[in-house]
Copies of this chain bind each other. A is one copy, B any other.
Amino acid sequence: MSVAERLSTMGIVLPSPTALALYRPAVRAGSLVFVSGQLPLRDGAVLHRGRLGAGVSVEQGREAARAAAVNALGAAHALLGSLEAARVVRAVGYVACAPAFVDQPAVVNGASELLRDVFGEERGIGARLALGVASLPLNAPVELELILEMD
């Protein structure tokens, strides 16, 4: 199946990235595509505002990470026109959390599973970091960064 077919089967319509003054949603440099940090915005609102270990549950965090990954793909698609030639090189999940929260990987899996399902096992699983940060813009629980490589 193509990436477009998988997205369609999953019922995902990639959003257009918001036009922003001081950064670009995604930038290509040679065969690499650097996607800007994506928040779990859906219809203009941040999903599950707050921090893990301080009101936001792991399941909510996973859902937010998945939404951020969808936005990352929307940003890449808007730049590239197609995701068929892309594969995931590196994903970083920044999880806003209280110091006692140490299950960042379970949260970031929400993004990693989405990427695997969209690109397949061979091309959708890259290097990864899962980090706990003090806070994120708009009080988002997760921010996702992506680097893709084009064939």
Contact = CB atoms under 8 A, between A and B. Distances in A.
A76 B53 CA distance: 33
A10 interface: no
A143 B131 CA distance: 8
A77 interface: no
Interface of A: 22-27, 29-32, 34-37, 51, 54, 89-92, 94, 96-105, 109, 112-113, 116, 125-140, 143, 145, 147, 149
B23 A128 contact: yes
Contacts of A101: 134-135
A140 to B, nearest CB: 8
A134 B145 CA distance: 18
27 contacts: A22-B113, A22-B125, A22-B128, A23-B125, A24-B128, A25-B127, A27-B126, A29-B89, A29-B149, A30-B31, A32-B32, A34-B89, A34-B126, A34-B127, A36-B128, A37-B129, A96-B132, A97-B134, A97-B135, A98-B135, A101-B135, A102-B136, A102-B137, A102-B139, A104-B135, A131-B143, A134-B134
